[in-house]
A = this chain, B = another copy of it.
Amino acid sequence: MFIHRHKVQFYETDLMGIVHHSNYLRFFEGARVAWAHSKGLLDYQQPGTASHFAVLETQVRHVKPTFFGDDLQVEVQAKTDGNRLIFQYRLHGRKGEICALGQTVHVSLGPDLKLKRLSAEIKAVTEKETWTETWL
């Protein structure tokens, strides 16, 4: 299982003293980019290449808050469904407890923001991945 680490920054908190919910989408983005790079998809998310992805849908379920200084761990799983690339995330807090679950759905876009088919490279990578249906 691919795991991405993120140390919570002071500027990611809000006046409730916890991480602002919008930042979870940023943590997930960091996690899927790191996942892509770890799979050799080095141009992932660089415009002008085959592998830029637009975000179609996001979903986050918050289970527990996270705090300044926490060493978060984000587990990532990926699959394709037709021309859609689907990621799920399990975000663990400082004690390893699950703090958030998420899913993002993407399609491939050209630099002209027009839809493209998923590359063979992406399909080849995701086919080798394990997918657990029960995450979210």
- What is A's interface to B at a CB cutoff of 8 Å? 9-11, 13-18, 20-23, 25-26, 29-30, 33, 45-47, 52, 54-62, 65, 68-69, 109, 113
Minimum Cβ distance to chain B for residue A9 (Å): 5
The 3 A-B pairs with the shortest beta carbon distances in the complex, nearest first, are A13-B15, A22-B25, A21-B55
Contact (Cβ within 8 A) B58 A16 = no
**What would be 17 A-B contacts, judged by CB atoms less than 8 Å apart?**
A9-B29, A9-B33, A11-B20, A15-B15, A15-B16, A15-B18, A15-B47, A16-B113, A17-B47, A21-B58, A22-B22, A22-B25, A46-B68, A54-B65, A56-B61, A57-B60, A58-B59
Copy total for this chain: 4
Q: Which of A9, A16, A45, A54 gathers most chain B CB within 10 Å?
A: A16
Contact (Cβ within 8 A) A14 B16 = no
Name the residue of chain B whose CB is nearest to the CB of A52: B16
Docked pose: A55 CA to B29 CA in angstroms: 19
